[in-house]
Amino acid sequence: MKFSCQTTDLLRALHLVTRAISNQQALPILGNVLLEVEGKRCTISATDLELSIVTQFEANIENEGVITIPAKAILNFAQYNSDAEVLLETSEGTQLKCTSKHAKTLIAGESASEYPTIAATKKEENFTLDATPLLDALHMVTFASARSSLRPVLSGVYLRAEKGNLIFVATDSYRLSEYRIPLNSGNGDISCIIPTKVLEELKTILGSYKEEGGGKEEKSGGDKGKKKQAANESVGVALSNQQIEVSVGDTRLLSRLIEGKFPDYQQIIPKEAKTIVALSTKELLTVVKRMHYFAKETNNNLTFQFSDNKVHIITPQTQIGRDEATLETTLEGEQNKIALSSSYLLDFLSHVDDEQVQAHVTDSMHPAVFRVPSNKQLLHLVMPLRLQEG
């Protein structure tokens, strides 16, 4: 195997695929990447047996071939090489010589036959999505899934098709996010649960495709205003009973699906609200951030009292003190009261880029439903806490 390529192409590909490598590998070889050159392209792959990421880029190939090498070693070479072009060639079968104008590195690899096979998904359902609304959906949904594996179905995002839309749902049983985006093609019997980790990696892949058709990768993050803009890519999705494959440009992401039945979440969404309150996202976020200091001492409890176009927010009395605030609002309906988690509110509000949010409240015993007036595709629900006297 012998080929040359741009250092930036090699580094970007390694940054993408190495996200599939777990810090706790069941097998040492899973800390490697698979490097394969054929025709005019170099393909780099990585897997942890649950998630696989495969990407390609153009290269000048003299001799085709394949090898598997430690990911950290090749990433270290590419990351700290200031030369624009690099030459990679195998030596003595399982060694890789990495040469550039000012560097010469030798990396000990292994035979590609020792590396796990990454099989393509048997396509039973196929559909396409636009990258930008898909990235919006992932941004607003994945944070609401459970971080524990005690109930595996809650550690993923539920997908289902309905009337030309694809619906994303995530919940940890204390809060829930639902987001709808249009399906470009296909509208079959789509119903599956995708591991949240996989969709977090998909966010990074989508974020790496810029308007110019693929720029430098940026660090991922859920902070308000830092959402990455995807290029106008068409994202292909293939599903089987046990696996999903997502294609974005030259990159493919493959993963096992989560087995089990997702909860019938629609039955907990209140059918109507007695009180609808419009709030400034920035003002509410600032207040909740301040009051969380006291609220976290009492199970993150914040009591919201709605009346006379105002919302009064109170923390219970704690050993370190208490806090309260009053915000001007637009109120429809009757006076109301509910206790909500400051932690869950912070999670939600920090993901909202719009200027205003609406709280739909039935009473203190039913979930509060949050909507964004400028984004009808989104619904966020937070379960109530026990009301405490201030």
In a domain, 287, yes or no: yes
- Residue 327 confidence (pLDDT) above 90: yes
Residues 139, 203: Cα–Cα separation, whole Å? 8
Q: What is the pLDDT of residue 389?
A: 62
Q: What is the CATH number of the domain that holds 371?
A: 3.10.150.10
Give the H or E element holding residue 342: helix 342-349
Distance of alpha carbon 121 from its chain centroid, rounded?
A: 21
pLDDT level of residue 248 (50, 70, 90 thresholds)? very high
Taking residues 62-69, report their average pLDDT: 96
Residues 329, 325: Cα–Cα separation, whole Å? 13
- Residue 118 confidence (pLDDT) above 80: yes
In a domain, 336, yes or no: yes
Q: What is the pLDDT of residue 123?
A: 81
pLDDT level of residue 187 (50, 70, 90 thresholds)? low
- Quick one: 133 and 234 in the same domain? yes
Q: What is the pLDDT of residue 251?
A: 94
Taking residues 203-217, report their average pLDDT: 62
Residues 150, 338, 379, 352, CA torsion sign: negative
- Residue 219 confidence (pLDDT) above 50: no
Q: What is the pLDDT of residue 225?
A: 42
- Quick one: 284 and 253 in the same domain? no
In a domain, 387, yes or no: no
- Quick one: 135 and 98 in the same domain? no
Residue 96 DSSP code: E
Q: CA angle 63-68-74, nearest 5°?
A: 90
Taking residues 302-314, report their average pLDDT: 96
In a domain, 389, yes or no: no
Across the chain, what does the average pLDDT equal?
Answer: 91
- Quick one: 147 and 260 in the same domain? yes
- Quick one: 106 and 130 in the same domain? no
In a domain, 120, yes or no: no
Total tally of structural domains belonging to the chain = 3
- Residue 238 confidence (pLDDT) above 60: yes
- Quick one: 199 and 323 in the same domain? no
Pick the last residue of a domain from 265, 292, 310.
Answer: 265
Pick the last residue of a domain from 114, 145, 171.
Answer: 114
- Quick one: 109 and 133 in the same domain? no
In a domain, 254, yes or no: yes
Contact status, residue 378 vs residue 348, Cβ threshold 8 Å: no
Q: What is the pLDDT of residue 318?
A: 87
Taking residues 325-346, report their average pLDDT: 96
pLDDT level of residue 220 (50, 70, 90 thresholds)? very low
Higher pLDDT, 361 or 148: 361
Q: What is the pLDDT of residue 232?
A: 64
Q: What is the pTM of this model?
A: 0.88
- Quick one: 100 and 15 in the same domain? yes
Strand arrangement of the beta sheet that strand 32-38 belongs to: 65-70, 32-38, 41-47, 51-58, 251-256, 243-248, 234-239, 125-130
Q: What is the pLDDT of residue 228?
A: 44
- Quick one: 139 and 169 in the same domain? yes
In a domain, 174, yes or no: yes
Q: What is the pLDDT of residue 184?
A: 75
What the block records as the tokens of 163 is: 């009337």
- Quick one: 130 and 254 in the same domain? yes
Taking residues 174-179, report their average pLDDT: 98
The string of DSSP letters for 323-335 reads -EEEEE-EEEE--
Taking residues 50-59, report their average pLDDT: 96
Q: What is the pLDDT of residue 124?
A: 83
Residues 66, 329: Cα–Cα separation, whole Å? 63
In a domain, 222, yes or no: yes
Q: Domain of 71? A: 2-114
- Quick one: 342 and 359 in the same domain? yes
- Quick one: 261 and 276 in the same domain? no
Pick the last residue of a domain from 248, 265, 282.
Answer: 265
pLDDT level of residue 15 (50, 70, 90 thresholds)? very high
SS3 137: helix
Contact status, residue 153 vs residue 262, Cβ threshold 8 Å: yes
pLDDT level of residue 350 (50, 70, 90 thresholds)? very high
What the block records as the tokens of 356 is: 């205003």
Taking residues 218-231, report their average pLDDT: 44
